[in-house]
């Protein structure tokens, strides 16, 4: 079922994700649409919303810590030579309309607004596809267009002086369990070896579930992965890893990430096989 504020994604008739378009959130959390809960086909939740450790982590969505100095991530802002700092600089993503809305996906238009007005206009496309009886894929594309008359740039705490903290862009806050999830790519294992490196795909494996993230365009695959497992379970594709991303007036930044959501603990071969099926033309 859908309402003006919520859309439920379905795969083979089963609900697998709830998309909230107009959340009632304090400004400090950088209010924005999000997917939560997202579940496996068996019904296991694989997202968290506003957990105690990071209240601004909102399931699955798009969040950027620095758009020309405005915080669209939530929480504190990393200030060079000062550290994480509470600033009154939070922006918000505002749902305008759905261009398309079906049980298995939607196309949405959003405004990224700050105290200075609208900075970016986003077109977000989300699609849910069945892969097997135990796995489905969430395909998310976001296109950010500079609608101001001035150059903009997108940054991260890493570009502002905090090494390794290149979060921002697509981000998935995963389910927290008693034991930290395992993380691996085709060539490496563990947070230390996969964080900050590009890889065609990256798997996060929990107690009874596996998420496999894949950049679905050549440009997206060049972005390194941001990974946390011990502190909290989360995976993102780093939009601004080691330098700011310029967005001239009228220009657009596009990224596409496909995530396999599977029941069970997948090994490398199974993860790679499902990614090939999910990302194939």
Model confidence band, residue 3 (pLDDT cutoffs 50, 70, 90): very low
Residues 183-211: pLDDT tens digits?
999 999 999 999 999 999 999 999 999 99
DSSP, res 2: B
pLDDT of residue 1: 32
CA pair distance 194, 204, nearest whole angstrom:
11
Nearest partner of 77 among 51, 56, 47, judged by Cα: 56
Query: Has residue 218 got a pLDDT over 70?
Result: yes
The pTM for the full model equals: 0.97
* Cα dihedral 129, 131, 137, 142 sign: negative
Place of tokens 């101001």: 148
- Each residue's pLDDT tens digit, 114-128: 998 999 999 999 999
Give tens-digit pLDDT for 100-115: 999 999 999 999 999 9
**Mean pLDDT on 155-173:** 96
Q: What is the pLDDT of residue 281?
A: 63
Q: Which letter does DSSP use for residue 29 in this model?
A: G
Task: Rounding to the nearest 10 degrees, give the CA dihedral for residues 111, 115, 119, 121.
Answer: 0
End-to-end CA distance of the chain: 30
Q: What's residue 5's pLDDT?
A: 86
Average pLDDT over the chain reads 96
pLDDT score for 4: 53
pLDDT tier at 136, thresholds 50, 70, 90: very high
Tell me if 110 sits within 8 A of 91, measured CB to CB: no
């Amino acid at each position: 079922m859908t309402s003006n504020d919520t859309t439920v994604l379905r795969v083979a008739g089963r609900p697998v994700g709830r998309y909230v378009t107009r959340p009632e959130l304090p400004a400090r959390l950088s209010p924005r649409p999000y997917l939560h809960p997202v579940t496996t086909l068996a019904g296991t939740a694989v997202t968290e919303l506003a957990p105690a450790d990071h209240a601004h982590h909102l399931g699955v969505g798009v969040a950027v810590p620095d758009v020309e100095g405005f915080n669209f991530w939530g929480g504190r802002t990393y200030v060079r030579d000062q550290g994480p700092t509470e600033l009154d600089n939070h922006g918000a993503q505002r749902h305008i309309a759905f261009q398309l809305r079906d049980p298995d996906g939607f196309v949405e238009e959003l405004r990224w607004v700050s105290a200075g007005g609208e900075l970016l206009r986003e077109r977000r496309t989300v699609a849910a596809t069945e892969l097997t009886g135990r796995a489905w894929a969430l395909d998310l594309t976001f296109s950010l267009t500079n609608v101001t008359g001035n150059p903009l740039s997108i940054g991260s705490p890493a570009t502002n002086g905090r090494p390794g903290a290149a979060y921002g862009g697509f981000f998935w806050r995963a389910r927290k369990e008693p034991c930290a999830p395992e993380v691996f790519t085709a060539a490496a294992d563990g947070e230390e070896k996969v964080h900050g490196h590009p890889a065609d795909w990256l798997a996060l494996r929990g107690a009874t579930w596996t998420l496999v993230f894949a950049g679905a365009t050549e440009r997206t695959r060049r972005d390194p992965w941001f990974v946390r497992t011990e502190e909290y379970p989360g995976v993102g594709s780093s939009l601004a890893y080691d330098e700011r991303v310029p967005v001239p007036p009228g220009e657009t930044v596009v990224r596409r990430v496909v995530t396999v959501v599977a029941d069970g603990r997948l090994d490398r071969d199974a993860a790679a096989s499902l990614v090939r099926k999910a990302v194939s033309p």
